[in-house]
Amino acid sequence: MITAPDSGLEKTIIEAIVASAGPPRMRVKASASQLHRCIRALVLEQAKTTPREALPARALLAFKVGHAVHELIQAKLDAACEERWETPFVIGHSDARMGNLMVDFKTIHADGFIGIVKDGPKWEHQMQCNWYAIRAGCDFGAIVYVNKNGRLTDEQRKTTGWKGDAEWVKAWRFKVDADLAQAYEDKAKQMLEHVEYGTLPEYDEIEECRFCGVRSACEAARREGR
């Protein structure tokens, strides 16, 4: 059988992925699952006048994969999943509560996974999990990172000197810290105050800038000295 590339079908699939995102949602509270992101981007996203760029299909697909992994794991756990928590500034749903342990799942590409195994969980992810844990009255939290690539390449093993650790799942457990949970609340309050007064936090270039949905609005504000 002779096969040939089909660019028309590829375009149709990409358009379907982009369309699946739907219109942006406006919130009066900060989302616990988004609050770890750049505060400047979060403020711009809340402004009704901010033009939004369509996220690349690749980024949207990564989000969909993340959701699918969450659902797959949650379906097989003996745990309370997707519990809703709310404070005056933040609203969110936790991934899984297993007795006195609050568990948060994160999907991540292989290079990022290598960094997590080496350096430990990201600080912003710890804040998010602590926020859920405090709401639920848990004494312990855990962040489980899942390598979206499934495994490491031979080159990644060679260059990193990989030894012993699992290549696609890494779990970090910790004692809940109320101060970290409060830091999440404080960030949400700061974000909502910027939205209310029409101000912007200072610009800080990070990896997220490459695929940010409000990048053009951010750049325009910087040209205006904001």
Q: What is the pLDDT of residue 10?
A: 63
Query: Is the CB of residue 107 less than 8 Å from the CB of residue 69?
Result: yes
H-helix or E-strand spanning residue 80: strand 80-81
Q: Number of helices (H) and strands (E), helices first, in the chain?
A: 8, 8
Q: Which residue has the tokens 């994969």?
A: 65
22-26, 47-51, 138-142: the lowest-pLDDT one:
22-26
122-136, 172-186, 202-216: the lowest-pLDDT one:
202-216
| Distance, CA of 129 to CA of 185 (rounded, Å) | 12
Residue 143 DSSP SS3: strand
On the question of pLDDT at 175 being above 90, the answer is yes
| Distance, CA of 57 to CA of 10 (rounded, Å) | 11
Helices (H), the chain: 7-19, 39-46, 57-75, 110-119, 123-136, 154-160, 178-197, 215-223
Strands 140-147 and 101-108: parallel
Q: pLDDT grade, residue 20 (50/70/90)? A: low
Q: Give the residue-averaged pLDDT of 111-130.
A: 90
Sign of CA dihedral 153, 159, 165, 170: negative
Amino acid making up residue 110:
A
* Architecture of the domain whose range is 38-45+55-223: Alpha-Beta Complex (3.90)
Residue 215 has which token pair?
């990048």
155 exposure class (CB count in 10 Å sphere: 0-12, 13-18, 19+):
exposed
| Distance, CA of 177 to CA of 179 (rounded, Å) | 5
Give, in degrees to the nearest 5, the angle at Cα 117 between 132 and 41. 50
Q: Considering only CA atoms, which of 89, 179, 171, 96 is closest in space to residue 134?
A: 179
Query: Is the CB of residue 144 less than 8 Å from the CB of residue 170?
Result: yes
Q: What is the pLDDT of residue 66?
A: 82
**How many other CB atoms are found less than 10 A from the CB of residue 127?**
21
Centroid of chain to Cα 169: 17
Q: What is the pLDDT of residue 26?
A: 47
Residues 48-92 pLDDT 10s: 665 556 566 666 777 788 888 889 999 999 999 999 999 989 999
| Distance, CA of 72 to CA of 66 (rounded, Å) | 10
